[in-house]
Amino acid sequence: MTDNVCTQCGYEHTVIHRKYNGQRLCSSCFKKSIEAKVLKTIKKQKLVTKGDKVLVGLSGGKDSVALLKILNILKEKRIIELEAVTIDEGIAGYREEGVRIAVDVANELNVKHHIVSLNDRYNFTIDKIMKLEEKEEHPQNACTYCGVFRRQIFNQTAREVGATKLATGHNLDDETQSILMNYLEGNVNNMVRIGYKTEARDKRFTPKIKPLREIPEKEIGLYVLESGFEVHFDGCPYAHESFRMEIGDFLRKTTLQHPTIMYSTLNGFEKIKPSIKRDYMKNNTEKPNKTCIKCGEPSSQDICKSCSFIEKIHERLDMEE
């Protein structure tokens, strides 16, 4: 067999060589394999049930576009209802393209699409926040703010549209990075929450699912390109060197010599996670959530992190005027 023959169908033109299992696949067989693997994960891990309404966080990037396309298979079979939400964080010269692509993809797949702007919701943008941070001696990075606001908007939108599941595009690379990061930092609290689905600790939170969890990042990129979808590949201009990036670089380099390393990391973690979680929860009883006195969202404190940020940001913006 030559190096350019599809393992599955024998077609003499391949688009990928999977070193972790030896497969060489043509475009058609490759796309089918990705879809089959994701759908198998959904079924095996019971990520959705018939009648679920799934809300996809659609950024316009490769992961969320691939996720929407594959979940649309279940929508077309009338197994689930499907909607998407895109958050416009207000990052000039960057976010416009992602929002445009998200709109185009949702229209092409005939999926109901919601766009939520930080400026409309909170009366500021990430750009405005970062201009304030530039003047600080110890500035916070954009991810600190963005992550908090995005989580709140996703949860609020899921509740507003009646979604029973919130789907995110976390891939194999993301998950193995999170496992290693939290282990090396000794953050057991976060580590025990890593998984295919996150059960809501409070009824006001919508359960989150990660159908792409077993798919390598590179394969997701190839999948959307071979499927003919335009995606937003540009990185956020506020992305900074971080521990996650260092772990990601380590995994990518290690994978070159040890192609199965990410799968073995994920599988090994899944085997030991039940014991870690059981022992950890014995000694760390979770306190019930309160209700934020400002927005009414679930919170561990009287004022949630989002409202705390909002109040301080508006105070700083008022001082600038």
User: What's the whole-number mean pLDDT along residues 195-221?
Assistant: 92
pLDDT value of residue 284: 72
Specify the pLDDT at position 3.
78
Percent pLDDT > 70 in the chain is 97
Please state, rounded to an integer, the average pLDDT across all residues of the chain: 94
Do 70 and 213 form a contact (C-beta atoms < 8 A)? no
Burial 170-195 (b: 16+ CB within 10 A, else e): bbbbbbbbbbbbbeeeeeeeebbbbb
Q: What is the pLDDT of residue 188?
A: 92
97-to-56, 128, 268 alpha-carbon distances in Å: 18, 19, 39
Residue 169 has a pLDDT of 97
Lowest mean pLDDT among 10-24, 155-169, 200-214: 200-214
* Residue 280 in this model has a pLDDT that exceeds 60: yes
Q: Tell me what the mean pLDDT of segment 142-147 comes to.
A: 92
pLDDT of residue 319: 84
pLDDT band of 202, cuts 50, 70, 90: confident
- The CA–CA distances, whole Å, from 142 to 10, 185, 245, 268, 320 equal 49, 21, 15, 33, 19
Torsion over CA: 152, 153, 154, 156 (sign): positive
Q: For residue 89, is pLDDT > 90? A: yes
Q: What tens digit of pLDDT does each residue of 157-197 get?
A: 999 999 999 999 999 999 999 999 999 999 998 999 999 99
pLDDT score, position 139: 87
pLDDT of residue 201: 73
User: pLDDT confidence of 241, banded at 50, 70, 90?
Assistant: low
The CATH code that applies to domain 34-284 is 3.40.50.620
Which pLDDT score is estimated for 121? 96
Query: Which pLDDT score is estimated for 204?
Result: 84
For 48, other C-beta atoms within 10 Å of its C-beta total: 21
Quote the pLDDT of residue 222. 98
Say what the pTM is. Answer: 0.94
Residues 217-226: what's their mean pLDDT?
Answer: 98
**Residue 2 in this model has a pLDDT that exceeds 70:** no
- For residue 136, pLDDT over 90 is answered with no
- Among 52-66, 164-178, 237-251, 299-313, name the one with the lowest average pLDDT: 237-251
Place of tokens 């019971």: 46
Res. 77: pLDDT tops 90: yes
- Mean pLDDT is lowest, of 11-20, 120-129, 197-206, for 197-206
Specify the domain boundaries for CATH 3.40.50.620 within the chain: 34-284
User: Residue 124 and residue 89: Cα distance in Å, rounded?
Assistant: 9
The length of the chain is 321
And the tokens for 208?
Answer: 């989150």
Tokens of 272: 């030991």
pLDDT > 90: percent of the chain: 80
